[in-house]
Amino acid sequence: MAEPTAPTEDLLRELAPQVLGALVRKHRRFDACEDAVQEALLAASTRWPADGVPDDPRAWLIAVADRRLVDEWRSERARRRREESDVTLDVRGSTAIQRDDTLTLLFLCCHPSLSPPSQLALTLRAVGGLTTREIANAFLVPEATIAQRISRAKQTIKAGGVGFEDPPDDERAERLRVVLHVLYLVFNEGYTASGGPSLQRTDLTSEAIRLTRMLLALLPGEGEVAGLLALMLLTDARRAARTDPEGSIVPLAEQDRARWDRAQVEEGVGLLNRTLGTSLVGPYQLQAAIAAVHDEAPTAEDTDWREILALYEVLEQVAPGPVVTLNKAVALANVDGPRAGLALLGTLESDQRLAHSHRLEAVRAHLLELAGEPEAARTAYLRAARMTASVPEQRYLSLRAARLG
């Protein structure tokens, strides 16, 4: 049996949401359609490398998945009276085949009735085309856990009678916000993995960028979609310089900027320049603007921290939150000194949203070190190291502490 090639895998991943969308629009049963599509993708991955890719691969996948549904429903006693014409696929003229329902599928997977973990899992499975095992590996949880999340999501959609249609106009902006947040979370988990032996998961960052590109193609006039893609590109451009040959973390100020991907930087800045001023500025555009200031500085010393601080102050108005304040404290420390940054960190002490994150202690340690308090910095570094499940981050924070005695 021939193994699927990389081009075949890429094509299948691209077609997966289109095929699922076509079937759900026609048959309405998301759970059954998603299972059928997975079987069609498996059939293609084994047959196409040997037989060649069909002239119309999308129609081939829809036909195979549809046939699988027909066979299953024929075997159900309750379905025996269904007219065969109701489930017969007309490959030549079906509107379901010709229409791209990827955006509608994204809205469905990010429906507010689903929990955030279920939204993530279902989006990566149904729209991203990842297997349950791949998703489980990405988030360092058992495969059975991801399978349960996907199963519960399907049951919620079925029980709630969630229809396969675009949200009404008064809900569209909020639903798009959820979609963007899910894609943002996928990227962040790939860029800095929450646990495990590796700092980065390039499969997840690549998938998040691919899906956001797809979303921008579907919604070219949405400034925040362009802003999110710009943010991902400008951030991911630094990937090669974030670790040394041994896999240890290299902080931003010490990175070899010659290793940054200038093509990605240029694309991200270009997207941002074309977007800013054309619509209301949202949090992703502002974060992308901050990333652009970092990426366009020839050296760390050339970074315009005053501009970054000003952007964080705007971001704090648009989308306030502890992580924004945390990052603002770093910018403030670079403008007004570490004591000013530490004072701002003090406002986060009682914020329970950071209670289980090592970020607050890590930033505190860095600013204490800059302020000339090595013992307090060492204690904070070690505390941060104990709070993270990421092996590279544990190693980095422990080494910083060791350097201070």
What is the reported pLDDT for 279? 80
pLDDT at 3 over 70: no
Phi and psi at residue 76, to the nearest 5°: -85, 130
What is the reported pLDDT for 1? 46
End-of-domain residue from the set 47, 68, 98: 98
39 inside domain? yes
What is the reported pLDDT for 84? 44
268 inside domain? no
Output the domain CATH number for residue 335.
1.25.40
Per-residue model confidence as pLDDT tens digits over 363-384: 999 999 999 999 999 999 999 9
- Share above pLDDT 90 across residues of the chain, in percent, rounded to a whole number: 54
Please state, in angstroms and rounded to a whole number, the distance separating the CA atoms of residues 184 and 129. 17
End-of-domain residue from the set 65, 98, 131: 98
What is the reported pLDDT for 163? 79
Domain around 72? 23-98
What is the reported pLDDT for 95? 42
Residue 50 contacts by C-beta under 8 Å, 6 or more apart in sequence? 1, 2
270 inside domain? no
CB 353 within 8 A of CB 322: yes
201 inside domain? no
pLDDT at 301 over 80: yes
CA dihedral 350, 354, 358, 363 (to 10 degrees): -70
> Total structural domains in the chain?
2
Per-residue model confidence as pLDDT tens digits over 12-48: 888 888 899 888 888 888 888 888 898 898 899 889 9
Mean predicted lDDT score pLDDT of the chain = 88
End-of-domain residue from the set 70, 98, 126: 98
Per-residue model confidence as pLDDT tens digits over 93-126: 444 445 678 888 888 988 888 998 999 899 888 8
Provide the greatest CA pair distance for the chain: 80
340 inside domain? yes
281 inside domain? no
74 inside domain? yes
Per-residue model confidence as pLDDT tens digits over 226-254: 999 999 999 999 999 999 998 899 999 99
Residue 187 contacts by C-beta under 8 Å, 6 or more apart in sequence? 204, 205, 208, 209, 212, 232, 235, 236
More confident residue, 256 or 74: 256
285 inside domain? no
